[in-house]
Structure 1
Amino acid sequence: MPGGRLTHQDRRSIAAGLAEGLGYAEIARRLDRPTSTISREVARNGGSDGYLADHAHYSTERRARRRGPVPPPPESPGPSAAADAHGREPEAVHGFAEEFAALMVANGLPRMAARVLARLVTTDSGALTAAELVRGLRVSPASVSTAIGYLEGLDLVRRERDPRQRRERYLIDDDVWLRTWLTSARTNAMLADVSRRGAEILDTATPAGARLDRMRQFFVQLSDDMAGGPTAAVFSDTLTVLAALVHAGTPRTADQLAGALGWPLERVADALDSAERHPDIADPVSLRYDESGARTVTARPGRLTPAQREALGHP
């Protein structure tokens, strides 16, 4: 019956529908089931690309044996339920929330955290209490608490006290995705810095050092693409500092460069950092440090072959 548990044959029909490229709504119509039933079934059993009927049925039966004989949870309101004030069908909203959660799970978010996030995203206010999440998701308060803690750690949700009801609400801000983007950019920048130090320690002339240098270049580029890259002023300062080092011909410290150029030390430091982080700007030279920490410029690794360097008198 429409409200009962999915049978093995139902799951085979779902797998066949996915193989045909059908959407959840069409599969649900063929089985006379709510769309949310299909979306939940697929999401919890490998997603649309990894759904296997036999495995899904076996996994469901195994979970049922562990839980013991419990009544099935009530299905979400069907298509006949009244639309909300904006004319939206509850069935369609719930189906989208499940699809959104499934996508988050496929990208590494724990399932309960994904369901909580999806519920907040699809709520007009963008805010719900723990009790509302427990009722809406039909889960335990502990599950909601754990999911909220996880999402807070990612800076995806925040909590605030409702002074009228003396309880906390959990919110998702409109700029949450921008904050997440910038956090990712900072993480990539840190990875670039770590790999740069590793390349210096291992020496880029060795296979391990060269590998770390390529890693550095990758994360520098990725971080800059996300955060916007160096400004025009920093770009110009970088070229000036490199020109100064070429003209000097011998290593110079940041203090010496600042004195010679008549710049604040911070401006020189920013230009040197840009030269290290953006090898495309410094090409065809690259910065090198001596034991005192002074900088000099050398031909960028890879620009000249060993035979060419030897022919020029610097193997």
Structure 2
Amino acid sequence: MPGGRLSHQDRLDIAAGLTAGLGYAEIARQLDRPTSTVSREIARNGGAHGYRADHAHYATASRARRRKPGLPTGDDQPSGPVQGYVERFATMMVDGGLPRMASRVLALLYTTDSRSLTAADLVRELRVSPASVSTAIGYLERVGMVHREPDPRRRLQHYVIAEEVWVKAWQVSARTNLNWAGTAAEGADLLGRDTPAGERLTQMAEFFHHLGEDMSGGPGFEVIDDAFTILAALLHAARPLTTHQLATALNWPPGRITDAFASATKYAEYCDPVVLDQPTADTYQAIPNPARLTRTQLHALHDS
């Protein structure tokens, strides 16, 4: 009956559903139970990969015997709309790549009326072990999404959501994409960029590099502005120039010219449709990006 304690058969059905690859929501629908009830049951008893129906049933009975008389068990806890929302919030973060326990901790911190929670609060509310909370908090601290504030009166650590927490999460994702790009580029160089495997890895590296740069906000304004300036100077000169000639004309130190060349090459997508070209070992010119037009279009323009 919905709202009552889970029976042994309910737990057998949960185990069968996990084995069949069903999601928590589908298992809950088949049992006519709230999704939050099923997700708590699985989280308390080994997780999706370690859940065993018999063990879960006996463990729940054992926990109930250890509790003081009158204290409700986890299955008796109200599973109202707020609790259901917290579970859905955590599931959404899991789908986004955040570890499940870290997601549950973050969801609870976000939806509590208190500004902060202690480790004991998290253990009690989530009904998990202190070790699970410690691992989740450690992860959230490493990525800058949560920080701790000591309570000198009670020698306790209070955990608080970091300011601009979602900016931190975005930055973590951006760094992950750039790491993918770097690893793929390393593989392309190792296998040879002209091999089939090297070509695939090169495409992967370029994709994740652009994605990571876009998520990071791209290059700083000063970096790309210098690249724009040297391209404009080369277009105005309408002939190849050396680093010394550009430095003299722009009244810049040679190192700034060199850095601008490097930026124009590294961030070529931001300079499109103009690209930097090096016709000789010591001269540079700005030319239209040949990749912008198809071969047919280029032939048509030459013939017109």
- Post-superposition shift, 1:279? 2.9
* 1:249 maps to which of 240, 248, 252: 240
For residues 83-122 of structure 1, what are the structure 2 equivalents within 5 Å? Answer: 91-122=80-111
Q: Which residue of structure 1 lines up, in the alignment, with residue 4 of structure 2?
A: 3
Mapped partners of 2:159, 2:100: distance in 1: 18
In structure 1, runs of 5+ residues without a counterpart are: 16-22, 48-54, 80-90
Q: Do structure 1's residue 279 and structure 2's residue 269 form an aligned pair?
A: yes
Mapped partners of 1:37, 1:181: distance in 2: 31
Q: Which residue of structure 2 lines up, in the alignment, with residue 150 of structure 1?
A: 139
- Aligned-partner SS, 2:157: strand
- Post-superposition shift, 1:132? 1.0
Higher percent of residues as helix:
2
* 2:114 maps to which of 125, 134, 144: 125
Q: How many percent identity over aligned positions? A: 41
* 2:52 maps to which of 29, 36, 60: 60
In structure 2, runs of 5+ residues without a counterpart are: 18-24, 65-72
- Aligned-partner SS, 2:4: coil
Aligned residue identity for 1:64: A
Aligned pairs, how many? 273
- Post-superposition shift, 1:258? 3.4
> Retained in 1: the 8 A contact 2:276–2:286?
yes
- Post-superposition shift, 1:93? 1.9
- Post-superposition shift, 1:146? 1.6
> Retained in 1: the 8 A contact 2:8–2:57?
no
- Post-superposition shift, 1:69? 6.4
Taking structure 1 as reference, are residues 156 and 36 closer, same or farther at Cα in structure 2, changes over 3 Å only? same
- Aligned-partner SS, 2:52: helix
Mapped partners of 1:301, 1:203: distance in 2: 24
User: Which whole-Å deviations, capped at 9, do the CAs of 1:108-165 have from their partners, x for residues lacking one?
Assistant: 3333222222211211234111111111122222221122112112211111111232
For residues 223-242 of structure 1, what are the structure 2 equivalents within 5 Å? Answer: 223-230=212-219, 235=224, 237-242=226-231
Q: Do structure 1's residue 221 and structure 2's residue 222 form an aligned pair?
A: no
Mapped partners of 1:234, 1:98: distance in 2: 44
Q: Which residue of structure 1 lines up, in the alignment, with residue 161 of structure 2?
A: 172
Aligned residue identity for 1:277: Y
> Retained in 2: the 8 A contact 1:127–1:171?
yes
Mapped partners of 1:257, 1:191: distance in 2: 36
> Retained in 2: the 8 A contact 1:204–1:301?
no
Mapped partners of 2:249, 2:276: distance in 1: 20
- Aligned-partner SS, 1:70: helix
Mapped partners of 2:279, 2:197: distance in 1: 19
Taking structure 1 as reference, are residues 125 and 159 closer, same or farther at Cα in structure 2, changes over 3 Å only? same
Mapped partners of 2:222, 2:98: distance in 1: 40
- In angstroms, what is the RMSD of aligned CA positions? 4.8
Mapped partners of 2:282, 2:149: distance in 1: 49
* 1:162 maps to which of 134, 143, 151: 151
Mapped partners of 1:210, 1:243: distance in 2: 33
Bigger CA drift: 241-250 or 101-110? Answer: 241-250
Aligned residue identity for 1:5: L
> Retained in 2: the 8 A contact 1:133–1:144?
yes
- Aligned-partner SS, 1:5: coil
Q: Which residue of structure 2 lines up, in the alignment, with residue 40 of structure 1?
A: 40
> TM-score, normalized by length of structure 2?
0.65
